């Protein structure tokens, strides 16, 4: 049981380049999340998807777009990368009922992104 | 004032010690409280979760909530070197509304 899988694990981009971070979960969860983690800032929500076909902005959505491709997959796209987007990006998922409604339960191991 | 505060550490303790990790918060509407453990270069891993006030125990771990003081704690008994990690508290009001993570406390358990 893989849980939440993120690709790639590492990436270096130049300012202005674009890229898509991929995330897939195999737990049949409805809710999926993208976070970024920066030193001293904690984890901050970028985008959230409560179910296939729906997405909502989180705390820091500027410069990002997302696609909920199907129930399993939720991708994060940087259209024109900026040095301020250098961070570690985590995808998470959760069941959409009970205690875990709208709260991240399982995380992937992250994508470390550097933008020069 | 940040909504959730944690001492960043690092907190260093000898193997076998009892560890106390704490978070304070300002939003009195918070009812759901979680603790995650994050090893270096890994994603957060859910450790404990509670609702409202009181204690919850799971093996060597005890989560405690004091809503009157807006203070939550995670106790680790008989700490092991494998407990060395960053511990993140998280909380929310009604079903994930206002969900927020603390910045984390780095713990080092020395053999």
- pLDDT tens-place string over residues B51-68: 888 889 999 999 999 999
Residues of A within 8 A of B41 (CB-CB) are 109-110
Closest CA to A87 of A40, A49, A55: A40
- Measure CA of the first residue to CA of the last residue in chain B; give whole Å: 37
Output the pLDDT for position A2.
76
Question: B96, A106: Cβ pair inside 8 Å?
Answer: no
pLDDT tens figures, A9-46: 999 999 999 999 999 999 999 999 999 999 878 899 99
DSSP secondary structure letters along A49-112: ESSTT--EE-S--TTEEEEE-SSSBEEEEESS--GGG-EEEEEEEE-SSGGGTTS--EE---EE
Q: Which residue numbers in chain B have pLDDT < 70?
A: 1
Output the pLDDT for position A1.
60
* pLDDT surpasses 80 at A96: no
pLDDT tens figures, A70-80: 999 999 999 99
Residues of A within 8 A of B92 (CB-CB) are 102-103
For B9, the closest chain A residue by CA position comes to: A40
For A90, the closest chain B residue by CA position comes to: B43
For B43, the closest chain A residue by CA position comes to: A109
By the CB < 8 Å criterion, does A46 face chain B?
Answer: no
Give dist(CA B74, CA B47) in Å, integer. Answer: 10
Please give the mean pLDDT across all residues of chain A.
93
């Amino acid at each position: 049981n893989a849980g939440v899988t993120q690709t790639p694990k590492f990436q270096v981009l130049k300012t202005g380049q674009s890229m898509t971070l991929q995330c897939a979960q195999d737990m049949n969860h409805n809710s999926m999340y993208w976070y970024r983690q920066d030193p001293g800032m904690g984890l901050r929500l970028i985008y959230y998807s409560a179910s296939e076909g729906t997405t909502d902005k989180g705390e820091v959505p500027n410069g990002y777009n997302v696609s909920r491709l199907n129930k399993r997959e939720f991708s994060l796209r940087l259209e024109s990368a900026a040095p301020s987007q250098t961070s570690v990006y985590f995808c998470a998922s959760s069941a959409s009922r009970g205690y875990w409604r709208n709260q991240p339960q399982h995380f992937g191991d992250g994508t470390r992104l550097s933008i020069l | 004032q940040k909504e959730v505060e944690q001492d960043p550490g690092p907190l260093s303790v000898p193997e076998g010690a009892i560890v106390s990790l704490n978070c304070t918060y300002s939003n009195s509407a918070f009812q759901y409280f979680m603790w995650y453990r994050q090893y270096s270069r890994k994603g957060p891993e859910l450790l404990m979760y509670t609702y409202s006030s009181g204690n919850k125990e799971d093996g060597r771990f005890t989560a405690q909530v004091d809503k009157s003081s807006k203070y939550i704690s995670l106790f680790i008994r008989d700490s092991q070197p494998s407990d060395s990690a960053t511990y993140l508290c998280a909380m929310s009001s009604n079903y994930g509304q206002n969900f927020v993570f603390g910045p984390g406390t780095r713990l080092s358990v020395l053999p």
